[in-house]
Amino acid sequence: MVSPAPTTANGHPPASKPLLEIRGLKMHFPVKGGVLMRAQKQCKAVDGVDLHVNEGETLGLVGESGCGKSTLGKCVVRLNKITGGQVTFDGTDITQLGRSALKPYRKDIQMIFQDPAESLNPRHTIGNLLAEPFIIHGLLSAKERDIKVAELLEKVGLQASAADRFPFEFSGGQRQRIGIARAIALNPRLIVCDEPVSALDVSVQSQILNLLVDLQREMRLSYIFIAHNLAVVKHISDRIAVMYLGKIVELAPADELFANPLHAYTKALISAIPEPVPGGGRAQRILLQGDVPSPIDPPEGCAFAYRSWLPTSDDQKRQPGTFREVTPGHWVELHPGTVEDYEKYL
């Protein structure tokens, strides 16, 4: 895949440098097997991704389970040891930084997890959980920390008295608020939100989405928002990247992506969303055949062409596509099996 850096390859340099830049990111996991449990194969969870996130922007990341979107998020937070490529945060290459060198960046890049019940230690009070980031980074006195914890709780819509209680005393939505409070504690600049609302009921989901949007405006946060629910991603994102089998197949401003999807996979994803309107109002649904292929030994060439409804020859399937900017800000993987009349975009 020809994959130019999104900010420079489009001819004109960006107005300001992006906060986060990802180039050629690869995250391969060894698949062990055999008698000696040696690595026999590579699971290519993320296989050559270029993305950037601007200050104050939300980049949505969508795709089906196993496409590598969560792994990509974990690479950005450096919870994984990155196999290849480069992650640059605010001008510094953080890809290979060691534990102590990374510490200042831990403050700036935070994460919100899907299941707040599992990401909060059940044996600690909320007050302890929220004070921990300050203790780890050696900030504030004990007294100041208490005040700060109360402030944080208020900021996410909880009462200051919550500090003395334990995670199990809260509902799912409240626990997610606590997870958010912990993520914003150190005034981060970027938060990776990994399916932050998918475990929540719809009425609570909207409360959390509103909170995330409010906090973004107030604190000028950037988000990488990972989710499988396209309506939710569209609601919160400025730009959206569609991921398929470890690669980005389409990247566009949110409204543009939905108004004018080009990649066959994006079209199928959008058409598969069940909309809460009886009788539809939807154009023809595109049903994809079969499942996503395995990221262990992914097919040669264009991974999606094997599942696409567009006519392609076997020969073409084995050819990789090229990632091109077809209109300003709208990138797509061009291949006979992925984009109709793809020649006209070449």
Partner 1 sequence: MSASDQPILRVRNLATAFDTDGGRVTAVDGVSFDVPRGKTLGIVGESGCGKSVTAMSIMRLLPRPSGVILGGEVLLDGTDLLQLSLDEMRKVRGKRVSMIFQEPMTALNPVHRIGRQLSEVFLLHEKISEKEAWNRSIEMLAKVGIPAPEIRVGEFPHQLSGGMRQRVVIAMALALKPSLVIADEPTTALDVTIQAQILELMKELQAEMGMSIVLITHDLGVIAEMCDEVVVMYAGRVAERGSADVIFNNPRHLYTRGLLDSIPRLGGKRKATLQTIPGMVPGLAEMPVGARFAPRSPHPKAPAYIASPAYQNKRPELLQIAPNHWVEDEEVVRVIKQEVSQ
Binding site for partner 1 (CB under 8 A): 64-65, 171-173, 201-203, 205-207, 209-210, 213, 228-232, 234-238, 254-255, 258, 268-280, 285, 287-288, 291-292
* 58, 52 contact by CB (below 8 A): no
Largest CA distance in the chain: 69
CB 327, min distance to partner 1, A: 19
CB 257, min distance to partner 1, A: 11
Query: Tokens 């990994």 map to which residue?
Result: 194
CB 19, min distance to partner 1, A: 18
The alpha-helical segments, DSSP class H, found in 171-227 are: 172-184, 202-219
Nearer to partner 1, 134 or 306 (CB): 306
Which stretches of 54-181 are assigned E, i.e. beta strand? 58-62, 84-89, 92-93, 109-112
Nearer to partner 1, 98 or 280 (CB): 280
* 316, 310 contact by CB (below 8 A): no
CB 207, min distance to partner 1, A: 5
* 242, 251 contact by CB (below 8 A): yes
Nearer to partner 1, 16 or 289 (CB): 289
CB 320, min distance to partner 1, A: 22
Nearer to partner 1, 130 or 264 (CB): 264
CB 244, min distance to partner 1, A: 11
User: What's the start-to-end Cα distance of the chain, in Å?
Assistant: 14
Q: Which residues contact 125 (CB under 8 A, 6 or more apart)?
A: 163, 164, 165, 166
Nearer to partner 1, 145 or 234 (CB): 234
d(CA 324, CA 310) in angstroms, rounded, equals 19
Nearer to partner 1, 277 or 346 (CB): 277
Query: Strand 84-89 and strand 247-253: pairing?
Result: unpaired
